[in-house]
Amino acid sequence: DMRRPAELVIAELEKQRVHVGRPWASWPNWVRVTVGSEEEMQAFRSAFASVSRRHQVAMR
């Protein structure tokens, strides 16, 4: 739960060249992540931590 619209989180991640799943109407504040290669997951963790720090969201 990102505690804000998933579209905003997705846009911020895309600015860092990290792509995640589309938003879901039934879960408007959640972001879907598919497991990738080790390199892709490291890029995701770094970008997600950056976005999360700005909005006080913990990685779960």
Domain-embedded: residue 60: no
Query: Residue 30: which domain range?
Result: 6-55
Long-range contacts of 30-37 (CB under 8 A, 24+ apart): 30/1, 30/2, 30/6, 31/2, 31/6
Residues 1-13 have a mean pLDDT of 92
Confidence band, pLDDT 50/70/90 cuts, at residue 25: very high
Domain-embedded: residue 28: yes
Asked if 49 and 32 count as a contact pair (C-beta separation under 8 A), the reply is no
**pLDDT at residue 60, as a whole number:** 52
**pLDDT at residue 27, as a whole number:** 95
**pLDDT at residue 57, as a whole number:** 56
Is this model's pTM higher than 0.85 or not?
Answer: no
Number of independent structural domains in the chain? 1
Per-residue model confidence as pLDDT tens digits over 29-59 = 999 999 999 999 999 999 999 998 876 655 5
Burial category of 13 from C-beta neighbours within 10 Å (exposed 0-12, middle 13-18, buried 19 and up): buried
Domain-embedded: residue 22: yes
